[in-house]
Amino acid sequence: MFPAVLNTRKVLLSLLMSTVALPIENKHRELDGVLWLATNLVQNGHKVAVGDVSRVKTISETEIKPDFYFTRTPKYSKRKYDFYSSLKENNCHIFALDPEGILSGEDFFDQRISNEKMLDVYDELLLPGEGAKSSIIKNSEFPENNIHVVGNPRFDLLQPDLRYFYTVKNKDIKSCFGDYILINTNFANVNHNSDPYNPDDRSYIKYDRLSDVKYQGELLELFVEMATKLSRHNQNKEIIIRPHPGEDHQYYLNHTENYSNINIIQRGDVRNWIVGADVVIHNNCTTGIESALLNIPTIAYQPDINDIPSSMSNKMSIVVNTLDELVNSVNNMSDSDYTLSNGQLNELSKYIANTNIKASSKIVELVNTCSKTDGRKTYSTSAAQKFLIYMKNQPFSPYINTLARTVNGKSKHKKKKFSGLSESEVYEKVNRMVHETDFVVEKINNYDCVFWMNKT
């Protein structure tokens, strides 16, 4: 009798459960926030698929069969438009939650969407702040009732009750490097890993971007000069340069190889490094906001070489304009926590809504209450697709995957954006978040880098 009751309960839960697809494009930036949202969804009875965005898209209609698909707000293309339209035909709700464009504010539409046609395939827009909402309302006819200001789940983890998630990992970093100064760079426009920095070649730059790109090139050179000067003035500390995931690292290696205490490091989530830094230095980088919210002393190095207005991330920092100012600021930095003023927090809240509330809770509530008036999903799988699924679950499938990636190749840029993911990596992060024992993480098949997250 008791087993029968349990089986009945499982059947009822499966009927209530929604399947949610959470693709990841940039692992370093998105993984922790995606897993935090996934964990909250699972705790609320949903089944979640997480993994490499290209593979999630490939198997969405044959293996994942989602009720909800989360996407960023990509520029319009017929291929993307057709993909989301096909999901909608299968009664899938499309939620747009963009991990980029967080600081776009009232330029959000122009920077992240630009073509209103793409809005046709979204059921709900989950936006970082009120500025982005105003931008959508001003530039489109998207229903205001379907626009939700939620913030972004990755900023939940910066709040005092959750930042232990990063402090635990930083213990290993501190034991290896000791005291360090963290320099975060953001110069992919001129030092892209598929097109490294060359100050003598600017022929590929569009005219309307020339001024900004020229400024970034000058900043890149000044940041390297700044790192070497800090190295000479702080022989007892390590200088960690952490390039943007889209940047070429070799430029930094070439220009700092004679400085034994300068390290060029990309591995792990940047916030693991921020929480243990003596000071974080940046220019126009979201990490400047993240470090300030983590109460780490934050300096924006903003040389007076251009009239480009100060960015929001720089406004959340101590702004210095010369190398001497910067060195003095670092040397005189107090050990006490860096704290944003009420004025800074109020201004920031227009761009990031979840500096003191949980974006994940608001998103889960939307998923829980979202209507399914169109009925259950209607995905169908052909005989050929079923055979492919069968083959991908065979023991030899991982070897075919390795061979295919070797033959087809993968750009250096894509490798840096998503270098791979394992069950153990997902488990480790989830256990740090919730300390629960009934979470199940398993690969959807032996071929694709996509995982089911569920509860037993």
Q: In terms of DSSP H, where are the helices of 20-163?
A: 27-43, 53-59, 78-89, 108, 130-139, 153-156
Question: What does the pLDDT read at residue 203?
Answer: 47
pTM: 0.87
Burial of 89 by CB count in 10 Å (0-12 exposed, 13-18 middle, 19+ buried)? exposed
CA 81 from centre of chain: 22
Which of 130, 156, 98, 95 lies closest to 360, judged by CA? 156
Amino acid symbol at 374: D
| Amino acid present at 259 | Y
Q: Which residue has the tokens 């075919």?
A: 400
pLDDT at residue 424, as a whole number: 92
Select from 396, 436, 393, 370 the least CA-distant residue to 123.
370
Spans of the chain below 70 pLDDT = 1-16, 194-212, 306-308, 335-336, 371-377, 399, 401-416
Two structure tokens written together for 375:
């009925």
Question: In this predicted structure, what is the pLDDT of residue 106?
Answer: 83
Q: What confidence tens digit (pLDDT) does each residue in 195-248 have?
A: 666 655 544 444 344 456 778 888 999 999 999 999 999 999 999 999 988 888
Find out whether 90 and 120 touch, Cβ atoms under 8 Å: no
Res 414: pLDDT: 59
Output the pLDDT for position 244. Answer: 87
Instruction: Give tens-digit pLDDT for 18-38.
Output: 999 999 998 888 999 999 999
195-233 in b/e form (b: 16+ CB < 10 A) is eebeeeeeeebeeeeeeebbbbbebbbebbebbbebbee
Q: In this predicted structure, what is the pLDDT of residue 9?
A: 44
For the chain, percent of residues with pLDDT exceeding 70: 85
Structural domains of the chain ordered from first start = 2-156+354-455 (3.40.50), 164-348 (3.40.50.2000)
Q: What pLDDT score does 348 carry?
A: 92
Separation of alpha carbons 37 and 391, rounded Å:
31
pLDDT at 1: 43
- DSSP conformation letters of 188-205: TTTSBTTB---TT--TTS
